[in-house]
Amino acid sequence: MSNNELRQLQTRVDDVNLKILKLINERGKLIQDIEQAKGTQEIHQYDPISDRKMLDNIHDYNNGPFKKSTIEHIFKEIFKAGLELNKNDHRKALLVSRKYKPENTIVNLRGEQIGDNKQHFIFGPCAVESYEQVAAVANAMKEKGLKLLRGGAYKPRTSPYDFQGLGIEGLKILKRIADEYDMAVISEIVNAADLKMAANYIDVIQIGSRNMQNFELLKEAGGMKKPVLLKRGLAATIEEFINAAEYIMSQGNDQIILCERGIRTYETATRNTLDISAVPILKQETHLPVFVDVTHSTGRRDLLLPAAKAAMAIGADGVMAEVHPDPAVALSDSAQQMDLKQFDHFFNELLSSKFIKV
Ligand code: PEP
Ligand code: MN
């Protein structure tokens, strides 16, 4: 074969490549059109029966030189690419995504605009134990000009024999404090049936780590006209976390604050591993404000300040930490709550940090 003939054959291979490219993209476009025609309700999923039919049809027309297995392999990759194309389109359409809404969502909590590019703070005891206990923390916060107070009335405890929270009595204490101190109160609700009742007492519904994928609770919270603070599941990926927020927003409630609170890893030096990189990822992927809970992530009082500084430096919208007037006798999380003196020190140090934007 002459050099010229060889070059001609190579040129034909190049032409065929371009034809294949054009056809693959044409196929991708058709798959997108089919998905669009189906509407947004029906999420595209892998359909093995339809793939088998297409493969059988292709085999009927295969005259070689490629073997059946090779053809099958190539086409399965093409099918997969089509599926991925739709997956990406679906992700683009998530209501919580920045692709869907480029500007930051602002959650207004009694005048504090969470998500306004400044940093905010949520403090308060792990659990509401008494009016006096919460009031002591509220006083210390008021002196610092802070007005976002947390406290659990329904405590999701590892052991059923541990303190489970004061329930509605705890919510009533929070409401009294909110009114007397002009504060916004945040409290975890664990049961969808309690949401409407709880909304009479609290300003923000917290959905805890253990309930991040309690889809019925998420949907019910999505139907409320109350802001939701959603904590990352203790073994949830960022994608799962984002989808949990989507459950809430899909029901019409866009007032959501995400809260990174550490994930379970093999590391035992801390209670959980604070996934600090989740903060900028969540900020990039979603338009929602992102908080960091330094208490439950580290589980260590000595790490609260450096973890909070890291959260500020990496761009969190705020920090949550637990404060108790006498942690030694606290009914939950006594090892990591700060007492009022430690709280003073923590907050002063944080305010003087060069990363702070208040
Ligand atoms: C809490 O904030 O009170 C709490 C129980 O945290 P988490 O759900 O993150 O464990
Ligand atoms: Mn706690």
How much distance in Å is there from the Cα of 155 to the middle of ligand 2? Answer: 8
Which of 164, 209, 228, 324 gets mutated to test ligand 1 (max ligand atoms within 8 A of its CB)?
Answer: 209
Q: Which ligand is nearest to the CA of 155?
A: 1
Tokens of 141: 């916060």
Tokens of 176: 């009294």
User: Is the CB–ligand 1 distance for residue 296 below 6 Å?
Assistant: yes
- Per-residue model confidence as pLDDT tens digits over 102-145: 999 999 999 999 999 999 999 999 999 999 999 999 999 999 99
What is the rounded CA–CA span in Å between residue 183 and residue 144? Answer: 13
Question: Regarding the domain delimited by 3-90, which CATH topology (the fold level of the hierarchy) does it fall under?
Answer: Chorismate Mutase Domain, subunit A (1.20.59)
- Nearest Cα to 335, choosing from 308, 296, 306? 296
Crossing angle of helices 3-38 and 68-92, in 10° steps, is 50
Closest-lying ligand 1 atom to the alpha carbon of residue 259:
9
Please give the pLDDT value at position 89: 55
Residue % of the chain over a pLDDT of 90 = 88
Please give the pLDDT value at position 53: 92
Phi first, then psi: what are they for 66, rounded to 5°?
A: -70, 140
pTM across the whole model: 0.80
- Nearest Cα to 146, choosing from 182, 108, 105? 182
- Per-residue model confidence as pLDDT tens digits over 69-99: 999 999 999 999 988 887 755 555 799 999 9
Does the domain at residues 107-351 carry the CATH identifier 2.40.50.100?
no
Please give the pLDDT value at position 336: 92
Ranges of H-type helices in 120-162: 131-143
From-to residues of CATH 1.20.59.10 in the chain? 3-90
What is the rounded CA–CA span in Å between residue 178 and residue 151? Answer: 12
In this prediction, residues 161-176 reach a mean pLDDT of 97
Q: Which residue minimizes the CA distance to atom 6 of ligand 1?
A: 208
User: Is the CB–ligand 1 distance for residue 128 below 6 Å?
Assistant: no
User: Is the CB–ligand 1 distance for residue 170 below 6 Å?
Assistant: no
Mean of all residue pLDDT scores within the chain: 94
User: Is the CB–ligand 1 distance for residue 261 below 6 Å?
Assistant: yes
Give residue 355's pLDDT band: very low, low, confident or very high (50, 70, 90). confident
Give residue 36's pLDDT band: very low, low, confident or very high (50, 70, 90). confident
How much distance in Å is there from the Cα of 127 to the middle of ligand 2? Answer: 7
Residues whose CB is under 5 A from ligand 2 (ion)? 126, 333
User: Is the CB–ligand 1 distance for residue 152 below 6 Å?
Assistant: yes
Instruction: State the Cα torsion 247-251-252-255 to the nearest 10°.
Output: -40
How much distance in Å is there from the Cα of 279 to the middle of ligand 2? Answer: 21
Which of 206, 211, 270 gets mutated to test ligand 1 (max ligand atoms within 8 A of its CB)?
Answer: 206
- Name the pairing type of β-strands 204-207 and 120-124: unpaired
Give residue 354's pLDDT band: very low, low, confident or very high (50, 70, 90). confident
Tokens of 322: 């637990």
- Per-residue model confidence as pLDDT tens digits over 16-31: 999 999 999 999 999 9
Helix, coil or strand: residue 222: helix
Give residue 39's pLDDT band: very low, low, confident or very high (50, 70, 90). low
Give residue 59's pLDDT band: very low, low, confident or very high (50, 70, 90). very high
Please give the pLDDT value at position 47: 81
Please give the pLDDT value at position 270: 97
Amino acid identity of residue 347, one-letter, is F
What is the rounded CA–CA span in Å between residue 231 and residue 228? Answer: 10
Residue % of the chain over a pLDDT of 70 = 96
- Nearest Cα to 358, choosing from 114, 158, 140, 139? 114
From-to residues of CATH 3.20.20.70 in the chain? 107-351
Give the range among 49-58, 212-221, 264-273 with minimum mean pLDDT. 49-58
- Per-residue model confidence as pLDDT tens digits over 292-345: 999 999 999 999 999 999 999 999 999 999 999 999 999 999 999 999 999 999
